Structure 1
């Protein structure tokens, strides 16, 4: 990480003041006079801050951050994936959502992930297939947001990433760990060619990695705009790559050319003195709000991180939320999602009563407006990245971005990995009785997402915080735990994010069992809940709260994040 930071510093202008990197203690620049970037990699954070220094907007900086993440954190996100952006307009106080979720091509079928006997394909087989890739959405979404909120020319936002791709960057310990992880994606010819070392094996921590193909793509993207991906040579290569065995896909040039990001109204609810704003379906923002409002009906705020009952309450509320989220949330263009019913106070009161003193077996409820839905069979592996940007005018981006599982499908085009987002659909489209799953595959449909980038407003409608995470379906409890700890338990953001993760969904209770305070795991077991190791190490929560007019920013210590805060200059 020290080497990577030196490389990034050398790329920045010598005359520009260096941003302050946040230590575990909160940053303390007055919130009304600052710019900030929180991202999972130092090079990405510094690329975003460089844009802000040049007078760029939060959206401008977000584009630079994403371009760099696609290079230095390819296991998590990239130009071949999708994203959700929650955006606060500093002047009007309005919160909007930009939906860049991938879509299924026109040739997709409900049974595309079923084998010859009608049973779901093994996930490890489906995830590297050609049919796993949805039409990428991140680039088009960033283009839409830039047209509305950009300040600097699009063509000026890719320089740091393009230069780093040509000159090379030092493989970080975290990327090196994934390259040694035995993932099926790393067996692909593309991954072996890109990461391979002369004489055999893959690069590792400390090695320099160059990506001239990505540099060339960024040059064209800067000059041509998003069309560089959705039309022409890159689009043709995406189609060819997805139509290669095994399990060829059905994407066409027409699918790419027709992709449209969606600007949506944010879904906002009062919580803990804030107004919490999240993306609506197909994001799981409604599930995030459910979790927070269920917990608001308990005494967890009066407890703390060493109290077993606090963690038990959190786990049971998570299980209740997931039972409803899994059953009902899908693409609203294809299925009716009972958002109002799920957030109705009377319904939440009834659901909160399921949270007792001993582990139960919560199943889905029947909120107002809920249609008959089949059971969900969606698997969401841990991946993804989250970052936050605030500019000098008070505009804020909270963006979660992904190629789905580690290195997407393992197939590459022009130096970036293609997503495997269509495996975020339920492989089984119906119940045995024929009831349809809300998240079944359909042509042109967006798969349900657990990505929930949040922006918090205070009682006067001013910016009060932002948060989000990586981690597949565990995103919801990762973010929920962090908000409970930072807001109700009043821990500094860095300490809140570092607390152990606990992921409770159905009968699965997992997390960082060895990191809880003494007595917590035993206390959970006494309440009928056995915590098994797993999944907790893959969080990537990044958060910012405004406390007494000052920024308190944090990055997930499980990753290689950076919080940069710098006083704005006029």
Structure 2
């Protein structure tokens, strides 16, 4: 079932607990095959999908599935799984291809959070970038003591953190890989050598990009002699990237973190003519990924509209990510409001009443996020446990603050009733990322969100890849006006707070993993992922149907609605409740895979965001 445009166009009516037609499932079944024990990568035809909004059918598979943001990356993961690889093997192949074909979002110059499940055992691998040892909390302050403008801080070497994705993947592969490490780099190396077609999304982002051409290396790679972005369909080769991947394939992460490549990265960062950074070769050599305890909580749903009582365990990434905590708080608070019994409207969209409760719950969650969440190696959790923010009694208490009128801006709570000695972080721009969801034939599942932060990162290109601007995920200002420190301030060796939300969901009754999901989108990641969980697990939609729902959010300010996706009556009803409503583009890049059963067989149902170029493939 490799052809994403033909055999995988299977759209089941529902996913969980509802029988899907035998004819449809038969059409989605794969022919018998012989398992290969090695990867013989073949460069696929390179489709040219739209970067606007392209309807996608949803996909059904039996044995395994991979969902990623670009068809070439998805195909690389598919071929690895087909060759007998594990979900972890496939994730590495996918990531290396994404760094080539979707360089604006992620790559070996950035970081990632990865959740892996083997049966019911969940492990969290932290490959988040770290602040250089020579940095200070005043990194982003101007001479007058005020924070720099966002892109003044981003463009150049100042914003570059120590990358961690490759070293993290190396650790995870040692524990969960089946195919040889070097094998997993073959797809990206082949594509880099032979060339890949510039996609509509890459071309579109290049066309709107203001800063990338200021780097001579990036300008020579992404733009023609006339200064215009390479057109859609142009074949782009990257022999330097291929050479770096060959070295990593042979020597492991050492080839990136030490030696010639590390020296080139540091030289690029420190020699920027107007905005140099302080990254050192020692920072790169000393970087260590971390294994953390996954942050898991129960989500119990009442019987509604023909759906039975359901009980799930939702697992996400702990701090320094704020994603899992914020999603858990939003869903938990909603459970103590009338929203818990509200179905979708007759038009198939969330109702104004439900959106009111959702956005109010979001304001409360984002208020807590701004005050408390940062790198746990530097900041103490409330009452010494992040789970205090997800305590059911605390969430019920927070839900009582929601009335008929919008609170507009919420204040943080205090779940552990302790003296708070820090200030909330002001709202700050977040961008970027890419998400990968995979289930393999061996019972493993993973969700990985990977990033270089802003579009094209720091706009610094070296050895065929872009460097991150992850340090701008720290608070630009280290302290509030009253001198209170901000938890997510810059400190040497610290990992910046993230909104990335790779998520795995388990059925409490059986222990089976039933969902892998996540999205890019900066702080909006939290809402995109929460929407998909709500749609699939509460409203009974397929992953594709849930992803297709219009996006909505609040970051503890205005209510944000995806432009031209909600009726005027919904907008007016929210305004009548006192909300400031803004309609704008909310470009998610969701990927989701869910487990379903029919006629005694297990199937995987996948969805990819119509707002981007991703697809799902599997057998």
Q: Indicate the TM-score class for this superposition, using the shorter chain for normalisation.
A: over 0.9
Is the aligned partner of 1:383 residue 2:432?
yes
2:41/2:187 contact within 8 Å kept: no
2:212/2:219 contact within 8 Å kept: no
Please name the residue that 1:319 is paired with.
363
Please name the residue that 1:456 is paired with.
505
Q: 1:266 aligns with which of 265, 284, 294?
A: 294
- Partner-residue secondary structure (3-state), 2:442: coil
1:404/1:420 contact within 8 Å kept: yes
Distance 1:335 1:375 in 2: 13
Distance 2:40 2:544 in 1: 27
Q: 1:341 aligns with which of 383, 388, 397?
A: 388
Distance 2:287 2:296 in 1: 27
Please name the residue that 1:352 is paired with.
399
Question: C-alpha displacement at 1:426, in angstroms?
Answer: 0.2
RMSD of aligned alpha carbons: 2.2
2:215/2:461 contact within 8 Å kept: no
Is the aligned partner of 1:27 residue 2:59?
yes
Question: C-alpha displacement at 1:535, in angstroms?
Answer: 4.7
Q: Deviations over 1:250-271 (max 9, x none)?
A: 1111110000000111111001
1:89/1:95 contact within 8 Å kept: yes
Please name the residue that 1:293 is paired with.
332
Is the aligned partner of 1:117 residue 2:166?
no
Please name the residue that 2:416 is paired with.
368
1:4/1:43 contact within 8 Å kept: no
Distance 1:249 1:49 in 2: 39
Distance 2:586 2:388 in 1: 31
Is the aligned partner of 1:79 residue 2:108?
yes
1:185/1:406 contact within 8 Å kept: no
1:195/1:202 contact within 8 Å kept: yes
TM-score, normalising length: structure 2: 0.86
Distance 2:332 2:270 in 1: 45
Is the aligned partner of 1:412 residue 2:469?
no
Is the aligned partner of 1:36 residue 2:42?
no
Distance 1:15 1:176 in 2: 21
Q: 1:493 aligns with which of 536, 543, 547?
A: 543
For 1:150-299, list aligned pairs within 5 A. 150-245=177-272, 246-272=274-300, 273-284=311-322, 285-299=324-338
- Partner-residue secondary structure (3-state), 1:519: helix
1:183/1:406 contact within 8 Å kept: no
Question: C-alpha displacement at 1:522, in angstroms?
Answer: 1.9
Is the aligned partner of 1:96 residue 2:146?
no
Q: 2:487 aligns with which of 425, 429, 438?
A: 438
Distance 1:563 1:307 in 2: 30
Question: C-alpha displacement at 1:531, in angstroms?
Answer: 2.5
Structure-2 change in CA distance of 1:230 and 1:114 (3 Å): same
Is the aligned partner of 1:60 residue 2:128?
no
Q: Deviations over 1:66-106 (max 9, x none)?
A: 0000000011100000000010013xx20010000000010
Distance 2:65 2:40 in 1: 16
Please name the residue that 1:525 is paired with.
575
| Gaps in structure 1 of 5+ consecutive residues | none
Distance 1:306 1:397 in 2: 29
Which segment is superposed worse, 95-104 or 278-287?
Answer: 278-287
- Partner-residue secondary structure (3-state), 1:67: helix
Question: C-alpha displacement at 1:215, in angstroms?
Answer: 0.9
Structure-2 change in CA distance of 1:63 and 1:15 (3 Å): closer
Please name the residue that 1:478 is paired with.
528
- Partner-residue secondary structure (3-state), 2:578: coil
- Partner-residue secondary structure (3-state), 1:157: helix
1:387/1:400 contact within 8 Å kept: yes
Distance 1:109 1:159 in 2: 40
Which segment is superposed worse, 120-129 or 61-70?
Answer: 120-129
Question: C-alpha displacement at 1:541, in angstroms?
Answer: 1.2
Q: Deviations over 1:94-132 (max 9, x none)?
A: 001000000001001000100000000111100113110
| Gaps in structure 2 of 5+ consecutive residues | 7-38, 301-310
- Partner-residue secondary structure (3-state), 1:528: coil
Which segment is superposed worse, 378-387 or 136-145?
Answer: 378-387
- Partner-residue secondary structure (3-state), 2:564: helix
Distance 1:393 1:432 in 2: 54
Structure-2 change in CA distance of 1:4 and 1:131 (3 Å): farther
Distance 2:279 2:427 in 1: 22
Is the aligned partner of 1:303 residue 2:340?
no
Question: C-alpha displacement at 1:306, in angstroms?
Answer: 4.3
1:378/1:427 contact within 8 Å kept: no
How many corresponding residue pairs? 550
Distance 1:89 1:261 in 2: 20
Distance 2:539 2:4 in 1: 35
Question: C-alpha displacement at 1:231, in angstroms?
Answer: 0.4
- Partner-residue secondary structure (3-state), 1:313: helix
Distance 2:335 2:618 in 1: 32
2:113/2:128 contact within 8 Å kept: yes
1:4/1:172 contact within 8 Å kept: no
Which segment is superposed worse, 45-54 or 244-253?
Answer: 244-253
Distance 2:43 2:146 in 1: 61
Distance 2:296 2:42 in 1: 43
- Partner-residue secondary structure (3-state), 1:464: strand
Structure-2 change in CA distance of 1:474 and 1:14 (3 Å): closer
The 4+ residue runs of structure 1 with deviation greater than 6 A are 3-6
- Partner-residue secondary structure (3-state), 2:135: coil
Distance 2:592 2:4 in 1: 23
Q: Deviations over 1:275-319 (max 9, x none)?
A: 000111101121221112112222324231241111111111111
Q: Deviations over 1:456-476 (max 9, x none)?
A: 011221111111110111111
TM-score, normalising length: structure 1: 0.93
